[in-house]
């Protein structure tokens, strides 16, 4: 249901990209918390064999349980909130503590369609650390004048990491939200971002 509602984003992105660039993107990427914005975007491209789909999870501050919320990277089969999917869990099968600099990505599971798409190799999943995300947040703000939500900045971080090796290819990123909601937290915690200059 969420995928279908959000799919308008994927359909519009596909149409606008075709109009602006004249071809489909080589890569389409979105951050993944519970998975809604990514699923909506992917829905517009799911039948396009030549488009590679990427979901970007929060790697937080490290790989230990509790330091990240990278469910697709570190999770295992589990049931939470009434659905079976991949889950970060403790030995008793209870949801594990999670962390991300982006509060909207702090979730120890992911919508089951993502687990399915990973299992059939249709979507590639990656994880971006808090540090890489903050670097991307400041870079997009400074160089493009676009303040991304901290959640969305995870996808930007992935793109900044891989783009140098993708010369001649196009990447379409979902900016799932504006960073206005995060700016007070960012300013209070990271100041002008001197530690995250490119
Ligand atoms: C701006 C923004 N993007 C992404 C997300 C992550 O959710 P989802 O993966 O379900 O799209 C959130 C969650 O609150 C959000 O606020």
Cα 40 to averaged position of ligand 1 atoms, centre (Å):
12
Q: Which domain holds residue 142?
A: 2-196
Distance CA 8, CA 178 (A): 18
From the CB of 148, is ligand 1 less than 6 Å away? no
Residue 92 belongs to domain with CATH number: 3.40.50.1100
Query: pLDDT of the chain along its 198 residues, tens only?
Result: 999 999 999 999 999 999 999 999 999 999 999 999 999 999 999 999 999 999 999 999 999 999 999 999 999 999 999 999 999 999 999 999 999 999 999 999 999 999 999 999 999 999 999 999 999 999 999 999 999 999 999 999 999 999 999 999 999 999 999 999 999 999 999 999 999 988
- Count the domains in the chain: 1
Cα 178 to averaged position of ligand 1 atoms, centre (Å):
11
Distance CA 99, CA 182 (A): 16
């Amino acid at each position: 249901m969420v995928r279908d509602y959000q799919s308008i984003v994927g359909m519009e992105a596909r149409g606008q990209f075709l109009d602006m660039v004249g071809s489909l993107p080589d890569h389409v990427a979105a951050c993944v918390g519970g998975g809604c914005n990514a699923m909506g975007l992917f829905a517009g491209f799911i039948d396009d064999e030549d488009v590679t789909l990427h979901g970007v999870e929060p790697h937080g501050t490290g790989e230990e349980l509790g330091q990240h919320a990278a469910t697709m990277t570190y999770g295992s089969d589990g049931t939470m909130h009434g659905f079976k999917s991949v889950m970060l869990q403790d030995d008793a099968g209870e949801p594990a503590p999670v962390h991300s600099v982006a509060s909207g990505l702090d979730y120890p599971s992911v919508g089951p369609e993502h687990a399915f798409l990973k299992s059939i190799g249709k979507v590639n999943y990656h994880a971006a650390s808090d540090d890489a995300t903050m670097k991307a947040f400041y870079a997009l703000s400074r160089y493009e004048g676009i303040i991304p939500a901290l959640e969305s900045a995870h996808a930007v971080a992935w793109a900044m990491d891989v783009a140098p090796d993708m010369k001649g290819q196009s990447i379409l990123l979902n900016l799932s939200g504006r960073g206005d909601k995060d700016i007070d937290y960012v300013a209070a915690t990271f100041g002008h971002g001197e530690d995250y200059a490119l």
